[in-house]
Structure 1
Amino acid sequence: MPSEPRLRADARRNSEQIRAAAIGAFQGRGLTVPLEEVAEAAGVSKATIFNRFGGRIGLIEAVIEEVVAAQLFAVIDRTRTIDDAGDRIAHYFTAIRDLQYRQPAVNDVLLQAYPHSQQLMEICRAGSEVNDELVAAARESGALRPEFTASDLHALVVDNALALKHGERPPRDDYDRRTTYLLDGIRGNQSAPDRR
């Protein structure tokens, strides 16, 4: 029989291999990657994932900080350092769309693909608070169209998540050009660029 310390070392190594495989898979393809593929990449059985993490939600919660949360909260923190309300919301909107393009798992979080995950729902709650805060400040400053609401910003982000998850992925240049069009469309008169 293997000794208890050996069992603990094997379990720890398996957990680390599973976490590493999950981070790689989720970052590249989103949180819905089949667990069989994560297990194969980790060199373990699917049953081992359930034994160590309790299933998909447990595994997601074990790695969501590295996959999504750290980058998303970095965007929020950077946004809050910008003094001008119009520049602040423009930076946030552009940075979120960039993250959505680069990290498919962000779209799974924004679409609340796993509502039973408390950590994912907490990320969504934090994002909703930032949306409210940024839109209120930008509207007050005249940087946004007066009728534009936090719900509108949320809808634009969710629509983009749906398009990236279920539609054809556009070339990056086209995607960035459309980000500019969207920003131009929601800006108030005071922040409209001079087209002369």
Structure 2
Amino acid sequence: MAEQTRTGSRALRADARRSVEQITRAAIEAFHGRGLDTPMEEIATAAGVAKGTIYHRFGGRAGLVDAVIGELVGSSMHEIGERAEAIDDPWSAFASYVTERRLLHYREPAAIDALVATHPESPELAKLATAATTVTQRLINRAHAAAVLRPGFTVADLYYFDVGNALALRHLGRPTATVYAERTTLFLDSLKNNPADHLTVDR
């Protein structure tokens, strides 16, 4: 009897692992296509499980987001920051970071949700935001120290520019990749420190 109980428990654990894997894969695919607010019913159907199973295994949407946001967005943000901080030239480092962040928002709806904090109850999203802010601050500090970034430009300024861009992508539609790249170039050009712009004119 004890052996039968152990065998039954192992089968149950295997079933649980399979359902978690199925739900995780389905969530990643759904969130990648439509963002973190994709209906749970759709994820359950794609995973071949009942909607209640998602709540049983993950505790709800926040738990599901926590389980997949690292693969969806976190790893990309980490790599973007690492690549930028490895660049010696302060302006090139900052420009690389801004460009890659904007490209991530262009291709990944879940990155927009992470940026605008659509699910503040998710601890993993909060951690991701904190880590991104830390990297952004370091890159901005480097650029200011080298006097290549517009004086007074802050982490908050970049955040609000990013939010505006992300919401435009979501609600106004995505421009072509070429147009989007041109707008990124224009945005970065506006942030370069040009001492001539700060000269006062005697009247």
Which of residues 33, 41, 49 in structure 1 aligns to 2:46? 41
Match of 1:136 in 2: 141
Check if 1:164 corresponds to 2:169: yes
Aligned-CA RMSD value: 1.6
Q: Computing the radius of gyration over CA atoms, which structure comes out larger, 1 or 2?
A: 2
Find the aligned partners of 2:52 and 2:155 in 1 and give their Cα distance: 43
Amino acid at match of 1:57: A
Structure 2: unaligned runs, 5 residues or longer: 196-203
Distance 1:151 1:5 in 2: 51
Write the letter of the residue equivalent to 1:178: R
- Corresponding position: 1:146 with 2:151: yes
Q: What whole-Å deviation, never above 9, does each CA across 1:80-116 have from its counterpart, x for those lacking one?
A: 1011110000000000001111111011011011111
- Are 1:114 and 2:119 an aligned pair? yes
Aligned match of 1:27: 32
Task: Provide the residue aligned with 1:66 in structure 2.
Answer: 71
Q: Which structure 1 residue ranges, 5 or more long, are not aligned?
A: 191-196
Is the aligned partner of 1:50 residue 2:55? yes
Distance, in Å, in 2 between the alignment partners of 1:179 and 1:84 is 19
TM-score by length of 1: 0.92
Task: Count residues with an aligned counterpart.
Answer: 190
Aligned-pair distance for 1:129?
1.5
Residue 124 of structure 1, aligned match among 122, 129, 133: 129
Report the TM-score, using the length of structure 2 for normalisation.
0.89
Distance 1:6 1:122 in 2: 35
What fraction of aligned residue pairs are identical, expressed as a percent? 46
Q: Secondary structure at the match of 2:178?
A: helix
Residue 182 of structure 1 is matched in structure 2 by 187
Instruction: Return the letter of the residue paired with 1:179.
Output: T
CA distance in 2, matches of 1:167, 1:77: 31
d(CA) in 1 for partners of 2:170 and 2:151? 31
Deviation at 1:175, TM superposition (A): 0.9
